[in-house]
Amino acid sequence: MSVDVEDRLSLRAMNEADVPAAAELSLDQGWPHREEDWELFLQTGEGIVLERNNRLIGTALLWRYGENHAGLGMVIVQEPERGKGLARRMIGDMLQRVEGRTVFLNTTDAGVDLFRKLGFAEVGRIIQHQGIAPTMPLAEVVRDQRVRPMGGSDGDIPVLYSRASGMDRGALFEALAANGSTVVLERDCEPVGFASVRRFGHGREIGPIVAPDLQGAQALATHWLGSNAGAFCRIDAVEGTGISEWLAEVGLPAVGSVTTMARGSFAGGQGPAHVFGIPAQAYGS
């Protein structure tokens, strides 16, 4: 005697209990995210899961940056379920939540056409560098410049990050800083940049990296690569800033890239600092 099992597809909010299954889903895609990485994503944003007969088959996460911007990421559909419009369904749900905001995401080449149809346009590219961190030469000595640990008097660093990225990154910075370590680039006794590092994936993610120029970004990256020489490190570098070429020269190879896309208007960073490395591709930009 056979019994028909009802095929039920449902979409609901993600919660902490979903983290193990979500991490397993991302590992199936060849992505390195640990459960702890998912927990931080959920802590700083919000997510939805797609279930078939109470089994998790898809995810999508969203981060709000102030009142005007958002990031979309970790859009995953289990392999046997692809080609059924499920990713589009989850993306549509997320976009409705942030209607009126400019939304950023990073996608592989395979996803570009889908996101174009949803109103996104290419605005940049991220080059993923990773491997065993090389032993770094001493950074070029610049008069009245130093790299030092972030301290209690560095309350303006989130503002510096927000201006450089063109959107409110205060809450995100605080969460990243609480889960890792941050150093500050100081010139003439004034903080002009910073870089953070935290446990992520196979090792450590260095980012964000924010600096007034390439030389400053190199000094910050040199600090963290040198401090972690021999350990697995990853930097998601912003194409066109010069840091990707430098990373390849010093021995941290490029292993892939993604396209940054935006839906809505975006004025860009306000300077004087610029973003050379992002904290994770999932966060959008």
- For residue range 188-201, what is the model confidence (pLDDT) as tens digits? 999 999 999 999 99
- pLDDT tens-digit series, residues 125-144: 999 999 999 998 766 667 88
Weakly modelled stretches of the chain, pLDDT under 70: 1-6, 138-141
Q: What percent of the chain has pLDDT over 90?
A: 90
For 169-201, letters b (16+ CB in 10 Å) and e give beebbebbbebbebbbbbeeeebbbbbbbbebb
For domain 129-283, say whether CATH 3.20.20.220 is its number.
Answer: no
pTM assigned to the model: 0.94
3-class DSSP assignment, residue 207? strand
Architecture in CATH of 9-122: 3-Layer(aba) Sandwich (3.40)
Residue 3 is predicted with a pLDDT of 43
* Residue range(s) in the chain whose domain bears CATH number 3.40.630.90: 129-283
- Per-residue pLDDT, 7: 81
Residue 270's CB: how many other CB atoms inside 10 A?
11
**CATH 3.40.630.30 segments of the chain:** 9-122
Q: pLDDT at position 2, please? A: 43
Report CA dihedral (53, 54, 57, 59) to the nearest 10 degrees.
140
pLDDT of residue 6: 62
Rounded to the nearest integer, the mean pLDDT of the chain is 94
